[in-house]
Chain A
Amino acid sequence: MMATMATIATVVVGLTLIYVLYRTIKGRPVERRIVFVYIAFSVILPLMMQISPPLPITGDVLKVYDNIKVLQPGSKVLCAFDYDPPSAPELQPMAVAFMKYAFKHDLKVIIMGLWPQGPQQAQMAVEEAMLDPEVAAKNLQEGIDWVNLGFQSGNEFVIQSMGSEFKRMFPKDDRLVPYDSIPLMKNVVNFSNIDYVMNFSSGKPGTVEWVQIGVDRFGVKMSAGNTAVQAPMVYPYLRAGQLLGILGGMSGAAEFEKVLDEEGDASTFLLAQMFAHATVIAFIIIGNIAFFIGGRRKKITTPQVK
């Protein structure tokens, strides 16, 4: 019922855009707050629909999958959570999907963060992954199957110091357990004992620093999950082979969920993003049609809301 109503509302909202076009051409552009209402509807309505748009898997996401599927059970994977809640809608679904995959395939996960909020985002991802029946059945133990080393300040210097010894930067884990008392960290001295690094990043310090220090200097194998804003900046590293794969933005997250067969939030959020993009494209087209029909006589400005 809700889904049907949302679909009808979407069609109605779409049709009203024609009226907006008419008004704009006539030189009576709509107010800014009307545009805000359109954006709000375009984000909220799709969240009520139960549609999963068909999504092709791009090569960048397949590369991430190809690299993690060859990891043997017991492989040690370092997960760096370098983001905070505003970026969570894009990055958290990737992290949850990755955690579910890692736990189901008996990979040993070592979590850390160069952002203060990162380890708490990781904790939430682990909690959500644990809700999966297959993961829950494994009865995984913190300290044995996964560990959260927490946050350390120092940006790229943390990565650099970890190159010689992890313990220097993380003498205790996030639950204050001494490094030497964590069973999972036994025999883990530095990056040479890590099989794979997965970085979830939304800015600095993040993927760029991990590539420059972790990959270039210490030779770690790494893929990254980035926000749509950051992804264009890390593409050069992918082409150069320094990054093994990229999950870019919401579409990257949704594709990753699909390729891992772990459908989650990203698939729903992608629909909202799709509608929001459609609305923004519609407004760009309306604005430009009015601009050209008006013969560039005058600049279109909306009345300011006082």
Chain B
Amino acid sequence: MRREIPILITSVAGLVFAVSYFIPHFPFGESESIFGDWVTIVQAFAIWLGALNLIKVSWEKISRKKADWPFALLIVISLVATLLIGFIDGYRGLNAEPQYSFRDPGTSFDWLFRHVYTALTSTMFSMLAFFVGSASYRAFRARNLQATLLLIAGFFVMGGRVPLLDQMIAPIWDYPFFSHLADWIMTFPNTAGQRAIMIGIALGVMSSSLRIILGIERSHVGGGTR
């Protein structure tokens, strides 16, 4: 029963969503709405599940003093502190007149978001620029035809999406040639490639979905393929 019920729910929900796209009337339309609300609720719970899992994993690391355990401790402290601040702001907001949200400007949670979270996440993301720079020097080589084509396309897109190459040729030709070239690469070769990938993914998703709906694929409930 531990597997049969989840498989049954998956099959019914999958069938309802598939059929309601073509027949958006009673009972499929209504059922789709109900399952849609379920998804929203389950996803909200999944956020909690993720947070609890993070605490569990980090706590194990701390209690066994594994490598880098101080970072795990920092994660737990940050998580709990952010939650507490959000709850306190939310509680105050609910009891204020007029009511306000924990995210509203002027709350401690908003201050954390603007001055701590934003700075930290932006710093992490901006590291990419350094790694791309390093990789461009050490790894981007025209070793074969495919790599050469990729490098040439990358060169023109990087130089054309910003007014770099156009500015370099401006003294002799005042026409945004490289901008238009980058635009052409994005619009035609890129679109063609992306469409091929999208169609391939869609076919894969369809076949996987069918296998899950029909109960052939059971790995998502801890079983293998039937």
Q: Chain A interface (Cβ within 8 Å of chain B)?
A: 29-30, 32, 35-36, 38-40, 43, 53-56, 58-60, 84-89, 117, 119-120, 123-124, 127, 150, 152-155, 157-158, 160-161, 164, 168-169, 174-177, 217, 228, 231-233, 235-236, 238-239, 248-251, 270, 273-274, 276-281, 283-284, 286-288, 291-292, 300-302
Contact = CB atoms under 8 A, between A and B. Distances in A.
A230 to B, nearest CB: 11
**Which of A53, A152, A235 has its CB near the most chain B CB atoms (within 10 A)?**
A235
B43 A249 contact: no
Contact of A233 (B94, B154, B194): B194
- 9 nearest A-B pairs in the assembled complex, by CB-CB distance: A86-B125, A154-B40, A39-B133, A85-B118, A56-B176, A274-B162, A283-B137, A283-B136, A157-B39
Contacts of A30: 137
Given A161-B36, A233-B194, A176 B100 contact: yes
A79 B39 CA distance: 23
Given A58-B179, A281-B159, A235 B190 contact: yes
Contact of B133 (A38, A127, A168): A38
A88 B194 contact: no
B131 to A, nearest CB: 9
A278 B164 contact: yes
Contact of A235 (B110, B113, B137, B191): B191
Contacts of B134: 32, 35-36, 302
A150 B198 CA distance: 31
Contact of B137 (A53, A87, A152, A286): A286
A240 B162 CA distance: 26
A190 to B, nearest CB: 12
Given A59-B183, A119-B103, A175-B100, A155 B43 contact: yes
Contacts, number: 178
Interface stretch (B3-11, B54-62, B70-78, B138-146): B138-146
A280 to B, nearest CB: 5
Nearest to A43: B129
Contacts of A117: 113, 117
B136 A239 contact: no
A39 B162 contact: no
Contact of B187 (A164, A239, A276): A239
7 contacts: A55-B163, A56-B166, A58-B179, A120-B110, A153-B40, A175-B99, A232-B190
Contact of A36 (B32, B130, B138): B130
A301 B163 CA distance: 31
Contacts of A58: 179, 183
Contact of B191 (A86, A87, A169, A239): A239
A124 B125 CA distance: 20
B31 interface: no
Given A284-B155, A301-B138, A228 B163 contact: no
B146 to A, nearest CB: 15
Interface string B168-192: 0010000010011001001100110
